[in-house]
Amino acid sequence: MSILQEQAVQMISELSDDNVSFLIEVIQRLMPRETDDKESMQALHRLDAARKEILQYIPKEFDPDKELEEARTERYGSVD
């Protein structure tokens, strides 16, 4: 064990159980997990597939910027 690891073990041994529990949570969040990467990629692929499916229901002439502007004008009136 390196000197740095020994220092970490010494510091941890002096912590209360609540603080050790908190430290474990922090360490788990900092350490990359392969399963999270795999799950994230699967979620991204599902999102992309859903986006492609949804696009088939949106008319080709649909202009989201125009729709947003019309909705704002309808709700808040003209800013001009």
Residue whose tokens read 């949106």? 58
| Three-state DSSP state, 71 | helix
Euclidean distance between CA atoms 51 and 30, whole angstroms: 31
Predicted structure pTM score:
0.38
Contact, 23 vs 15, CB < 8 A? Answer: yes
In terms of Cβ atoms closer than 10 Å to its own Cβ (0-12, 13-18, 19+), residue 7 is: exposed
Per-residue pLDDT tens digits for 7-60: 999 999 999 999 999 999 898 888 876 666 788 888 889 999 999 899 889 998
Please, how many CA atoms are within 13 Å of residue 68, restricted to the half-sphere of its CB? 3
pLDDT for 2:
92
Euclidean distance between CA atoms 39 and 52, whole angstroms: 20
pLDDT for 1:
83
